[in-house]
Amino acid sequence: MNDVILNVENLTTAFDTEEGQLRAVDDVSFFLRKGRNLGIVGESGCGKSVTALSIMRLLPKPAGNILSGKIDFKGTEIISLPAGDMHAIRGNQIAMIFQEPMTALNPVHTIGRQVGEIFSLHFPEMNDSDIRKASLEMLKKVGIPEPLKRMTEYPHQISGGMRQRVMIAMALACRPDILIADEPTTALDVTIQAQILNLIRDLQAETGMSVIFITHDLGVIAELCDEVVVMYAGQVVETAPIRELFHNPRHPYTRGLLTSIPTLDSAHKKPLKVIHGVVPSLDDLPAGCRFENRCPHAREICSTAPPPLVDINPNHAAGCYFAKDLTPWKPVNTGSGDNNG
């Protein structure tokens, strides 16, 4: 276990709202190994982005607060770290790229200035021409054509894909140990998505960093990740290595997600498989399992108390009373049968 670079234990993050304190992330635990990719998957509002922002300590203030838990980064406890020490970690050792490349860059500063800023921030000994050279090098590395010209341009003059490349250039400028990518390709079109994912994978191979991929797209997870954390309504419902998750999902929600992916040989012009019902609201959570109202396997016990995470094997756990009893999984790409049932 000493190759674990980030260990999140029992993280609970809440937002103060007019409806009271809402726990967007509730007792979430997972770990990230050095040089490996972890996927956090789940639908909108399940707490995956808030988990990432908690790690970065970037929660919107004063509403968002970490209530309890531990985040251990290379032996440093991040949650209790003074703000000043956190500045030295952010961008330098843990970097993050965001969903919206269109708005994530400052519209009134040039690309060169925004990339250069991170060098001047974390390497104060660098002089202006060093910073310029290093910025140019980073832009080249992320595959931006005509990097010299781009340095003097503003974000509105380049495309969304290029902006995300600039974001990646900034994120990787200091060779961080961990890159958190919060839906980095959601706002981009499909061909650009593939380019950006390949770029991240290539750069990872080069630098040996670990990546946390936050997405709702299981395709991205399948392509890039070694391990997967499935989140639902603020909680982890299943953690497994990537193959295990796709071949032997043990939580009905994970199964639901897998069945709702359309495949080439699924029946044409038929509605896609869906998980019926809606996620319970954070201010009105059930006493038992949070997936109970949508679960085809729900029984009485499910509404009594939250199910514990059951270990299927040392690397695989699922938060369901029937995790071990579910029928064997027929892989999705056979496209037949009702795997959800």
Partner 1 sequence: MTAYFIRRTLLIIPTFIGITLLVFSITRFVPGGPIERMIAEAQRMQVEGGGGAGAGAGVQRQPLSDEQIEFLKQYYGFDKPLLNSYLAWLGKVIQGDLGISTRYQDPVWEMIRSRIPISLYFGLIAMALTYGVCIPLGIVKAIRHKTAFDNVSSIIVFIGYAIPGWVIGIYLLVWLAGWWDVFPLGDLVSENFDELPLLQKLLDLAWHSVLPVIAYMIGAFAAMTFLMKNTLMDNLAADYVRTAIAKGLPFRRAVFGHALRNSLIPIATSFGNNISVILTGSFLIEKVFNIDGMGLLGYESVLERDYPVVLGVLVISSLLFLIGNILSDLCVAVVDPRVQFD
216 near partner 1 (CB under 8 A): no
The enclosing H or E element of 106 equals none
111 near partner 1 (CB under 8 A): no
d(CA 220, CA 242): 11
Q: How far is the CB of 22 from partner 1 (least distance, A)?
A: 19
72 near partner 1 (CB under 8 A): no
Under 8 Å between Cβ of 94 and 73: yes
Identified binder of partner 1 from the candidate list 167, 218, 237, 258, rule CB under 8 A: 167
Identified binder of partner 1 from the candidate list 75, 82, 107, 328, rule CB under 8 A: 107
> Which value, in Å, is the radius of gyration of the alpha carbons in the chain?
21
CB neighbour class for 49 (10 Å; exposed up to 12, middle 13-18, buried from 19): buried
> CB under 8 A: which stretch of 88-96, 189-197, 204-212, 271-279 binds partner 1?
88-96
d(CA 61, CA 47): 17
121 near partner 1 (CB under 8 A): yes
Nearer to partner 1, 125 or 325 (CB): 125
Identified binder of partner 1 from the candidate list 1, 108, 190, 278, rule CB under 8 A: 108
Nearer to partner 1, 34 or 90 (CB): 90
83 near partner 1 (CB under 8 A): yes
Identified binder of partner 1 from the candidate list 56, 187, 188, 289, rule CB under 8 A: 56
103 near partner 1 (CB under 8 A): yes
Identified binder of partner 1 from the candidate list 44, 60, 190, 284, rule CB under 8 A: 60
> Which residues sit opposite 21 in a β-bridge?
16
Q: How far is the CB of 43 from partner 1 (least distance, A)?
A: 21
> Which parts of the chain fold into alpha helices (H)?
48-56, 83-89, 111-122, 128-141, 147-151, 160-172, 190-207, 218-224, 242-247, 252-259
Under 8 Å between Cβ of 173 and 138: yes
In the structure encoding, which two tokens stand for residue 146, read together? 């005509």
> CB under 8 A: which stretch of 68-76, 98-106, 133-141, 315-323 binds partner 1?
98-106
Cα torsion angle, 103, 235, 275, 214, sign: positive
89 near partner 1 (CB under 8 A): yes
Nearer to partner 1, 69 or 155 (CB): 155
d(CA 164, CA 157): 13
11 near partner 1 (CB under 8 A): no
Helix (DSSP H) and strand (DSSP E) numbers for the chain:
10, 12
Nearer to partner 1, 60 or 314 (CB): 60
Nearer to partner 1, 96 or 257 (CB): 96
Q: How far is the CB of 56 from partner 1 (least distance, A)?
A: 6
d(CA 47, CA 25): 5
> CB under 8 A: which stretch of 37-45, 93-101, 134-142, 254-262 binds partner 1?
93-101
Instruction: Go through the chain and tell me how many residues it has.
Output: 341
Instruction: Count CB atoms within 10 A of the CB of residue 35.
Output: 16
Of 192, 144, 134, 186, nearest in space to 165 by CA = 144
Under 8 Å between Cβ of 228 and 242: yes
223 near partner 1 (CB under 8 A): no
211 near partner 1 (CB under 8 A): no
- Binding residues for partner 1 (CB under 8 A): 56, 58, 60, 83-84, 87-92, 95-96, 98, 100, 103-110, 117-118, 121-122, 154, 156, 167, 170
